[in-house]
Amino acid sequence: MAKIVRKNYLLTPGPAPVPTEILLAGAQETIHHRTPQYLEIQKKALEGLKYLFQTENRVFTLLSSGTGAMEAAVANIMSPGDEAIVVVGGKFGERWRDICKAYGVVVHEIAIEWGAAVTPEQIKEKLEEYPNTKAVFTTLSETSTGVVTDVEAISKILEGTNVLHVTDAISGLLAQPLKMDEWKLDVVVAGSQKGLMMPPGLAFIALSERALEVVRASTNHRYYFDLRAYDKSYPDSPYTPGINLVYQLARAVEMLYEEGIENVWERHRLLADATRAGVKALGLELFAKRPGNVLTAVKIPEGIDGKKLVGYMRNEWGVTIAGGQAHLKGKIMRIAHLGWMSPFDTITALSALEMALDKFGYKVELGAGVKAAEEVFRREDI
């Protein structure tokens, strides 16, 4: 077999590919974080985040993964014994549930079949059953299944109540339309390593004014993630920030602002449409009943070991996609559309998938998936 040049293509739902400009921004000299020079950079980054979250309120930056922002949300708005409705339809809905329980919250779970999406009616019914609910926890894009939740419709259900709407937009921010203020979302959390096109390391949390009032009244124990400290010091940081990551953040928000939020949403939508056209042309079946633009979850054909298929694509062709999680390991694959990706990343992924399927004995017309994706791109006249 001839030796070939190997290039790596990252199509996982986090970390996502990072543009060279953003990588180089992090290579700048580290300066002290308690200086006017650094604070000016951080202020610029934080102001840019408001645009990306579509909010006029402050967005706090934490030095953690997205899970840290999830924990901060629970620790700051809930008190022991408070009641919460938690939508659990995948790995990250489970995380909301588990964090709530860790902080003494009484959880009323809405269990959704993996691959399905919660409906506003289900939220309404649960609220009627538990009228003392303080917050509803949702996931904009359930990364383990590819399902997108209609958080806008859920917020309309909550209008006129004192119930807070808390949503995990860690993978969904920028890939899916999200308008925090217009949709009356109270708490939105996100992470740096997905739609923001950055390395892992930063988490973000934005709160409505009424959510901030609840933060000030919460009796839960917290220290590092005490958002009262972040609010008091804003736009400075109460503790040492990720200086070089903030350099990258400032460049990322600048690039995304120049592109325009609607164009960013459309970019992800286009890659998702092309990917889904490609996998369907190969005779494969989508897993999510309400698929979003973060990733495309695809059922592994009968008789094929999904773990080996994903491993073959990565090890032999340098194309890294994600497999299934929990009970879906080996049963689905997840092809992401996040961050710094172009149509040719999608075409490359589909080409590698075709060859992998052929390798494992699945009858496929080589080029059929690529052709279907190309037709989507041509139709869009990009």
* CATH number of the structural domain 20-259: 3.40.640.10
Q: Is-contact 145 299, C-beta < 8 A?
A: no
Average pLDDT over residues 15-20: 97
Domains 9-16+261-380 and 20-259 share a fold: no
Mean pLDDT (the chain) is 97
Residue 130 has pLDDT above 90, yes or no: yes
Q: Return d(Cα 66, Cα 80) in angstroms, integer.
A: 23
For 269-294, how does the pLDDT look when each residue is reduced to its tens digit (9 = 90+)?
Answer: 999 999 999 999 999 999 999 999 99
* Confidence check: pLDDT of 43 > 90: yes
Of the pLDDT bands very low, low, confident and very high (cuts 50, 70, 90), residue 3 is confident
pLDDT in tens, 66-97: 999 999 999 999 999 999 999 999 999 999 99
Domain 9-16+261-380 is found in CATH 3.90.1150.10: yes
Q: Please tell me the predicted confidence (pLDDT) of residue 381.
A: 76
Per-domain residue ranges for the chain? 9-16+261-380, 20-259
All residues at 6 or more sequence positions from 379 whose CB lies less than 8 Å from its CB, including other chains: none
pLDDT (mean) for 193-204: 98
pLDDT tens digits, residue range 329-382?
999 999 999 999 999 999 999 999 999 999 999 999 999 999 999 999 999 876
Q: Using the predicted structure, report yes or no on whether residue 14 has a pLDDT greater than 70.
A: yes
Report in angstroms the alpha-carbon separations of 12 from 7, 47, 191, 201, 356.
16, 28, 15, 17, 17
What tokens were used for 292?
Answer: 């979003």
Q: Residue 1 has what pLDDT?
A: 56
Q: Retrieve residue 171's tokens.
A: 């993978």
Mean pLDDT of 147-171: 97
- Tens of pLDDT, residue by residue over 47-60, are 999 999 999 999 99
Predicted TM-score (pTM) of this structure: 0.96
pLDDT at residue number 180: 98
